[in-house]
Structure formats: structure tokens, C-alpha cells
Amino acid sequence: MPERLIFHVDVNSAFLSWEAVERLRQGETTDLRAIPSIVGGDREKRRGVVLAKSIPAKAYGVATGEPIVDALRKCPQLLCVPARHGLYSRCSHAFIEILARFAPVIEQVSVDEAFADMTGTSLLYGPPLEAAARIKNTIRDELGFTVNVGVSSNKLLAKMASDFQKPDRIHTLFPKELPEKMWPLPVGQLFSVGRATERSLAELGIHTIGDLAHSDLALLRSRLKKQGEVIWNYANGLDERPVEAAPAEAKSYGNETTLAQDITHLHEARPVLLALCESVAARLRADQVQASCITVKYTDYQFGGQTHQRMLPSPTDVTEEIYQTSVALLTQMWKSRIPLRLLGVSASRLSDGGFYQYNLFDGEKHERLGRLDTAIDAIRSRYGSDAIRRGRFLPPPDRQDG
């Protein structure tokens, strides 16, 4: 039986790269990827959050998920462009379609990243590095944007490898390479180690991934419970999870973001939820499907978390309806206001949008909101992302929720 060969393919600064490529195709001469720039928010109103950043913006300390006002404080010359989620959905589909030419099994984990099980494909595409180069270069040449490819024998190490130096790179991280490539790294760079866990490990004298790999598992279990065992396995490169293609009937549309700073109030969470819901709803509309189930999840600073979902009276692709449901779900499950590290929204139970169950009170509102979303999509598609922006992206600055 051939040794497992797993690729993790990750689009470099996806939303920003896709914006840059589209703008260059439309005749613009400035490449967003080459200047300090971000996707997200409104520069003039100093509202919104950073959805994606260029490498030059990252050099100023700009972080995904942070408020626009903080990003502008770090980099006053920052160019801010609003998001076009219909465009991103099309680019994501094109990206996955190219992967499907090469890999027998693909597991898409977000709009801009996927695992590919390349086991047994060497006779078709050559050795691992050659196969990875063919995938990377095909995406670059046909679609105009770049990806990183991590190559290993399991999913964890492939993902870790793809996060090494960017952009447009291929990196290997096989078990024999752990002492040289992974163990010297700060423990906070290990997948699933958040800031709170990093602080707990530091109290135990664990500062690098190598320290963690060679630490006492029993001690980690006593201090961090199940999470201690998980990260010990990861530090030692152990991960038996298969690459699983999601069945069509289980398909959902989702987006999540790790926050630049912990969130402790609902008014801080609202703009993040709105950005996530805009992304999800725009992708639903681009694919001409609607969802009957909305799910919100969070991960807190202690790496705990919750997931709540709600069935809707009728399928929808309306941003406002998905957003209001998401706010209600988060409000319902986040009562202790424990600091949040990650937020996610997904839409499932999909249909083709051919039926809507009207009621006496919300039918007209649903139609009006749907027409508004359709008009926004059409204007952005025809005239560009700067043509129209949502005015209500953040609540008033003086508002204090819960």
C-alpha cells in the first residue's frame, strides 16, 4: 500500500488576491497585492473589519479581523476596498475545479483552502514536489492568483507546511523533518494553540513546539484536559484524520474568522457577524440556492466553544435575515460573555430557491430585502465594488450592547 500523500492548498490572501486579479483584468494598473491594502470596511467612515490584507499591509502589523480604525492607525496610507462576495465565490469554484483535475479526493475546508489526497498519483504527476508544482502553476497561469502548497503524509503537517514562507511557495513537512522545520518554532504557531493555551504552556516552561513534543503527556492532560493530548499529538506530527469529500447532500456555505483581539461585548461581535453573513449570503445567491438552517459557532479564549443552529420558516439567501438569525443565536448561547477568539456562520439545508412560505407579516419585507441584495450584487458586478456600500456595517459608536 503506498504511503499517504496529502497536499494542503491555500490561496494567498484570497479575497485580496481575487480583487487584485479582477481589477487588473478590468484595466487597473495598480496591483493591490503590491501595496498596503485590505479588503473590508469603509475608509471614509472608518467602519468595518479587515477581511483580507496584502503582504505589505501585514508588514505594518495589520491583522485580519481587526477594526478598520485600528488598521488605519497602523498604516495611514492603507487602501481599503469593499468586498465582492459573488466574485469570491466564482474564484473559489474555479480554484476547486483545478484541484479536481489532479486529486482523487478533495476536502474543501473553506472558500480558499482545501486538502487533496494525492496518494498513489506519482505515476500520473511525478514525485510530490513535481505534482505540487503542477497544481500551483496551473492555478497561477489559468486564474492569475497564487497559492501555497503544503506537502506531507497527514493533514496536520500539510497544513503547517503551507503556512511556511509565502506567497507562491511549496513546502514539505514530513515526520523526519520535524526536528529541523517545526520543533524550533514558537509553540503558538502550532495549529490549534491559541493565546490562552500558549500562556498556560509558558507557565509549564514550554515555549517551542519541540518543548511541547518532548513534554510529559500526563502533565499536559492534567493541566489542559483533552486539549493537552491533542496538541501533544500535533507537536509530534501525529494525525490520522482522512481527507473526506463532503457528500453533496451535506453541502453548506460557511465562513469563519479568528479575531485579532478577543471580543467581550455583543456590539463588538455584530460587525464580524455581518461581514460573515454578507459572505455566506452572497455565495448562496451566486449559486442560486437558499438555506433553511443557520448555524453560528464560537471558540473562546480557553479553546472551548459552542455551536447553535436554527431552522428558518422558509429557505433564504437574504443577508439581513441570515444576519438577524445569527445575532439571535449568538445572543442565546453567549450569556457569560467569556472572551471570544473565533466566530463562524454557516448556512445549510439547501434548496434551489423555488419556494418561499409567506406569512402575513414578513412576506413584503422578505421581497424588499431580496430585491435590495439583488440590486447590490448587480451594481457591484457591473460597476465594481466601490459603486455601492452598506451604510450599516457597525452600530453607532456610543451603543453598548449587553
Sheet holding 105-110, edge to edge: 105-110, 113-117, 6-11, 147-152, 170-172
Catalytic residue among 113, 268, 278, 321: 113
**What residue type is 312 in one-letter code?**
L
Could you give the 3-state DSSP secondary structure of residue 291? strand
What are the angstrom distances between the C-alpha of 186 and each of 134, 181, 299, 311?
Answer: 32, 11, 22, 42
Residue in this structure with the C-alpha cell 503590491, named with its chain if needed? 34
Give the span between the Cα atoms of 362 and 172, in whole angstroms: 54
Residue 255 backbone class (left: φ over 0; alpha: ψ -120 to 50; beta: rest) = beta
SS3 259: strand
Helix (H) or strand (E) holding 348: strand 340-351
**How many degrees, rounded to 5, is the angle at CA 270 between CA 265 and CA 271?**
120
Q: Give the ranges where 103-243 is alpha helix by DSSP (H).
A: 122-125, 128-143, 155-162, 195-203, 209-213, 217-224, 226-235
Catalytic status, residue 28:
no
For residue 233 the three cell numbers come to 499529538
How far, in Å, CA of 29 to CA of 78, rounded?
A: 17
Residue reference for cell 481599503:
80
Query: Which residues belong to the active site?
Result: 113
